[in-house]
Amino acid sequence: MQMRPVLLNSCARAASAAEARFRIDVPIAPSRATRVVALDEESEAAVRRVAEQDWHHARFYSVGGEGLELTRVDGATVPLVDELDGVDATVLVASSDHGAEAAATIGAACTVRGIMTAGLVLTTGASVAAALTALRPHARVLLVPAEEEDLAELLRAIRA
């Protein structure tokens, strides 16, 4: 037999502004551990500027060559695999296809670890296609063309 709701909060009519005050109100869970990697020189400048903003657990890097090592914004070089420990999202930022090899390495490492990947193409015109080709296989979501502000906006939205 179909049961009928007895109280307002036991039916869909509870979705009112008045009922909203009874929702459980606890602090939002800890912010996400996010890694942001600039894949080329032009992107590195943008990533460095965004890194200067106030973030929770986001860390920012540049990368060269195969991508097995990342360079922090303070200049320290660290192994990629160490930096992916406990991470839940990696954002790859490209302005060209110069970082294609590194994107493939990082993308593969993230896939193995079940880490969500996003890509931003910080360029317009002819370079877009090349940068897209480099990122497309490895980024679960791509924003193109993106601006520096988009990177900051994405990171804020996911509580990085």
Partner 1 sequence: MLRTEINELLTQTGPGTRMGDLFRQYWMPALLAEELPENDCAPVRVKILSERLLAFRDSDGRYGLIDEFCAHRGVSLWFGRNEESGIRCAYHGWKYDVTGQCVEVPSEPETGNFCANVKLRAYPLVKVGDILWTYLGDPAQQPPLPEFEFVRVPDEQTYTSKRWQECNWLQALEGGIDSSHVTFLHSGQLNSDPLFKGSKGNDYNKGDLKPFFEVADTDGGLLIAARRNAEEGEYYWRVTPWVMPSFTMVPPRGDHPVHGHIWVPIDDENCWVYTFDYHPVRPLTDDELSHMHAGYGVHSENVPGTYRPMANKDNDYLMDREAQRRGEQFSGVKGIAIQDASLQESMGPIVDRTKERLVATDTGIIKARQKLRKAALALAEQGVTPPGVDPEHHRVRSAAIVLPHEQPFQEGVAEAVVARPGVAQTTV
Q: Does 122 bind partner 1 (CB under 8 A)?
A: no
Q: Does 116 bind partner 1 (CB under 8 A)?
A: yes
**Selected binder of partner 1 within 20, 75, 86, 126 (CB under 8 A):** 20
The values of phi and psi at residue 40, to 5°, are -150, 175
Q: For partner 1, which is the closer residue by CB, 68 or 129?
A: 129
C-alpha to C-alpha distance for 124 and 90, rounded to whole angstroms: 23
Binding-site size, partner 1 (CB under 8 A): 35
- 35, 89 Cβ separation under 8 angstroms: yes
Q: In the structure encoding, which two tokens stand for residue 154, read together?
A: 């994405």
Q: Does 6 bind partner 1 (CB under 8 A)?
A: no
Q: Does 156 bind partner 1 (CB under 8 A)?
A: yes
Q: Is 36 exposed, middle or buried (0-12, 13-18, 19+ CB in 10 A)?
A: buried
What character string, x for contact with partner 1 (CB under 8 A) and - otherwise, covers 82-111?
-------x-x--------------------
H or E stretch at 102: helix 100-113
Q: For partner 1, which is the closer residue by CB, 73 or 116?
A: 116
Q: Does 141 bind partner 1 (CB under 8 A)?
A: yes
What is the radius of gyration, based on Cα positions, of the chain?
A: 20
H or E stretch at 81: helix 80-83
Q: For partner 1, which is the closer residue by CB, 19 or 41?
A: 19
Distance of CA 24 to the CA centre of its chain: 28
**Selected binder of partner 1 within 7, 29, 76, 126 (CB under 8 A):** 29
C-alpha to C-alpha distance for 17 and 155, rounded to whole angstroms: 29
Binding site for partner 1 (CB under 8 A): 5, 11-13, 15-17, 19-20, 28-29, 89, 91, 116-118, 129, 132-133, 136, 139-145, 149-150, 153-154, 156-159
